[in-house]
Amino acid sequence: MADVTPSSVVSPGSTFDLGAFVGDLNVEDDLGSDDVSLEGLQQELEECKNDEVVANILSKGTKLRDYTKGVENDLRKVELDSIQDYIKESDNLVSLHDQIRDCDSILSHMETLLSGFQAEIGSISSDIKILQEKSMDMGLRLKNRKVAESKLAKFVEDIIVPPRMVDILVDGEVNEEYLRTLETLSKKLKFVEVDPMVKASKALKDVQPELEKLRQKAVSKVFDFIVQKLYALRKPKTNIQILQQNVLLKYKYVITFLKEHGKEIYNEVRAAYIDTMNKVLSAHFRAYIQALEKLQLDIATAEDLIGVETRSSGLFTRAREPLKNRSAVFALGDRINIIKGIEEPALIPHIAEASSLKYPYEVLFRSLQKLLMDTATSEYNFCEDFFGEENVFYEIFSGPFSVIDEHVNTILPNCYDAIGLMLMILIIRQHQLIMSRRRIPCLDSYLDKVNISLWPRFKMVFDMHLSSLRNANVRTLWEDDVHPHYVMRRYAEFTASLIHLNTEYGDGQLELNLERLRMAVDDLIIKLAKNFPKPKLQTVFLINNYDMTIAVLKEAGPEGGKIQMHFEELLKSNTTLFVEELLQEHFNDLIKFVKSRASEDSTSSNDKPITVAEVEPLVKDFASRWKAAIELMHKDVITSFSNFLCGMEILRAALTQLLLYYTRLSDCIKRIVGGSALNKDLVSISSIMYEIRKYSRTF
C-alpha cells in the first residue's frame, strides 16, 4: 500500500476532493497492460463521487486492489459457509425432495379424478335440463287441469239443484234461511239465462224444468207472504213506520227477486202497496184535519180591517170575540213563537181538545205540514230502500196531497188574517229549508205550490186593508179625542208585525205595499185631524198618533227603516208647530214683537224707532205672569199628550224656545235709549233657567 500523507486524509466533516486524490495515483505500472483501459474513467469517477461506499473507501485511503481482494475473500468465505450449511441440511433436503415428489404424484391422481368428475357433471347437467323441461310440462298440464276442474266444479255447483234447496223453497217458511235460499235460486236462474255456453250444455235440459218449477213456486209463495204483510198496514192503530222498518225491510230481497224473476207479480205487489198506503195515509190525514178543525180559533173576518170602525153597525152584527183574541188581528205578539218552534212535534188533537185549548190557524197549519213532512220523509226513504224507485212515493202521496189541498183550498178563501197568512208563508219557507237539510226532494213541488197559493191570498187581504184606509168614512171614524186613534194603532201594529216577519224573508214587493199602506194612513190621519176645530188640537192629535206609531215600530225591533224615519220627521215638524202655537197662546204679544221689531237697530234711520213706552208693557206683563203661564203650559201638555215622556220633551222644547224669545227681547231693550229704566222689571235669565230645570227634573 502507498503511503498517504496526512494532508490527504479527509475528515468526516470536510468536503472530499476526488480529483485531487485520484491525481496522486500511480498507474504507470499498468500503462503497458492491454487488458486495462482508462477510457471513461473520469466519467465513472464523477458518477461514483456521491456513492457512500466509494466515498468511504477513498476517505480511509484504502487501495482499490486491496479492497477488492478483501471483498473477494469475504465472498469466498460466505460461499464456503453456505456450502457447509447445505451439507448439514442435506438430509432435510432429500426428505423435502421426496415429499414434493409424493405430492406431485397425489396431485396427478387428483387431477385424473377431477377430470372424471367434470365429465360426469356435464352428463348430470344434461339430465337436469331434461328433467326441468319435463317438470314445466307437467306443471302446465296440472295448471290447466286445475282451471278446468274449478270451472267444471263451478258449473256443477251453479247448475245442480240440491234437495235441501228444493225442500226449503217448497215447504219452508219465509224467514232468513228462505231468503238466503232465494238468493241462491236467483243466481242459478241468472246463470242458466246469461251464459251462452250453459244454454248449449246437455245438463241444462235436465235442470231447466226443475228450476222453472222452483221459480214459479218461490214467486207464488213470496207474493202471498208480502200481501199478508201489506194487509197488516190496513189494521187500525197500526204503527206504519215500525212495521215498515222492523218487518218489511227485513224482506226487501223478496221485492228484488220478484223484480228480476217475476215482473208481473212484482207489479201486482207494487200496486197493492201503493193502493194500501194511499188509502191508509189519506184516511189518517183526513182524520187529523177534522180533529184540528175543532181546535181552530178564528182571528179575523172580512170586517176586521184597519180602516173599519169598531162600533157595531146594526142589530145583526155577529158577536165579537174577546178583545184578548181580537188584538191578534193586527199585532204579532206571541204568534211569532210559531217560527221559533218550527221543528217542534205536531199537535196531538185529543190532548189539546181535552185541555179546551184553541189555536190560531197558523199553529194548526204548521202541525199539519209538520206531520206531512215527517210522514213523507219516512215514506220516501222506505220506498227508495224497499222498491228502489221514488215514483212509488208520488203515486202513494197523490191521495194525501189531494186531502190536504182540499182542506187548504177550503180554508184560504175564508181567511182574512194577514198576519196568519204571512206566518204560514214563513212556515212553508222554513219547511223547505228543513227538507233541503234532510236532502229529501219529494215535497219540493208541493211546498212550492202551497207557497204560490198563499201569496195571492195574502195580497188580496192586504189590499182589503189598504182599501179600507183609502175608502174610510172620516165622519164615522172621527172621535172628539186627541189621544191616538184606534185606526192608527191598528196600522202601527199591523205594519210593525209585517216588517218584523219580512226581515228574514226579505220580500221587496211587500216593502212596496207597506209604503202604499203608509201613504194611505197619512192621508186618513190628516183628514181626521182636520175635524178638530182648533189648529192646536189638530197638531196635538197628529203628535199623539205619530208618537204612538214610532213607539210601536220600535217595540217590534230595529227594523222600522224608512217608515219609522218618515214618522219621526212628521213628529219633529208637528212638535215645532205645537211649540209655536203653545207659546203664542200665552205670550202672543211678546212673540209678535220679537219676530217683527227685536231685530231692528235702534240707531237706524227708521221712521218709528223702538221706544221704552212700546216695550214696557211687554216687560211688565211677562214679569207679572210668566210663572203662572209656564204652569198652565205644563198642565196643558200633561192633559194633551198620552205619552208622558213625549209631553215632557215638548214642554222642555217650548220653555227653551220661550227662553230664546225672552233673551232676544232683553238684548233689544239694552239697545233702546233709556232702556236701562226697565231693568228692574226684567226677569233674569237665570230665573227662567231654574224653572226650566225644575220641570226637566220631573222626567
The DSSP string of 598-663 is: TTS-TTS--SS---HHHHHHHHHHHHHHHHHHHHHHHHHHHHH-SSHHHHHHHHHHHHHHHHHHHH
More confident site: 554 or 26: 554
Residue 176's pLDDT is what? 86
Backbone angles phi, psi at 449, to 5 degrees: -65, -45
- Cross-strand pairs, 359: 296
- How sure is the predictor about 559, in pLDDT bands with cuts at 50, 70 and 90? low
- What is the Cα–Cα distance from 167 to 178, expressed in whole angstroms? 10
pLDDT of 557: 67
C-alpha triplet 163, 167, 169: angle, nearest 5°: 115
DSSP letter, residue 192: H
pLDDT at 13: 42
Whole-model pTM above 0.95? no
**pLDDT over 60 (residue 654):** yes
pLDDT at 697: 59
C-alpha to C-alpha distance for 550 and 536, rounded to whole angstroms: 21
Place of cell 276442474: 149
Q: Are 48 and 22 in contact (CB under 8 A)?
A: no
Query: Are 454 and 290 in contact, with CB atoms under 8 Å apart?
Result: no
Stretch 189-193: mean pLDDT: 72
Q: Measure the CA angle with vertex 287, ends 285 and 291; round to 5°.
A: 115
pLDDT for 630 equals 86
Torsion, Cα 272 275 280 284, to 10 degrees, reads 160
Per-residue pLDDT tens digits for 268-303: 999 999 999 999 999 999 999 999 999 998 888 888
Determine what percent of the chain falls in helix, strand and coil, rounding each to the nearest 5: 75, 0, 25
Distance, CA of 597 to CA of 590 (rounded, Å): 10
Position 210 scores a pLDDT of 78
Helices (H), 160-201: 163-171, 176-194, 196-199
For residue 135 the three cell numbers come to 317438470
- Closest by alpha carbon to 666, among 686, 648, 649? 686
Average pLDDT of the residues in 257-278: 90
> How distant, in Å, are the alpha carbons of 221, 396, 528 from that of 542?
84, 60, 9
Is the pLDDT at 22 greater than 80, yes or no? no
Angstrom distance (rounded) from CA 97 to CA 94: 5
Distant-in-sequence, close-in-space partners of 527: CB < 8 Å, separation ≥ 6: 474
- Position 228 scores a pLDDT of 87
CA distance 427 to 421: 10
**Angstrom distance (rounded) from CA 379 to CA 611:** 98
| Summary mean pLDDT of the chain | 82
Contact 304, 329 (CB under 8 A): yes
Neighbour-count burial of 97, counting CB atoms closer than 10 A to its CB (0-12 exposed, 13-18 middle, 19+ buried): exposed
Q: Rg (Cα) of the chain, in Å, rounded?
A: 64
CA 697, CA 699: separation in Å to the nearest integer?
A: 5
Question: Could you tell me which of 518, 507, 292 has the C-alpha nearest to residue 421?
Answer: 507
Using pLDDT thresholds of 50, 70 and 90, give the confidence band for residue 624: confident
| Mean pLDDT across 192-213 | 68
Torsion from C-alpha of 15, 19, 24, 27, nearest 10 degrees: 140
Give the burial string for 486-500 (b: 16+ CB within 10 Å, else e): ebbbbbbbbbbbbbb
pLDDT digits (tens, 9 = 90+) for 373-423: 999 999 999 999 999 888 999 999 999 999 999 999 999 999 999 999 999
What three-state secondary structure class fits 359? strand
CA distance 583 to 585: 5
Cell of 74: 469475504
Which three cell numbers mark 123? Answer: 352428463
Determine the Cα angle at 303 with ends 297 and 306, to 5°.
Answer: 100
The C-alpha cell at 240 is 206504519
pLDDT of residue 31: 45
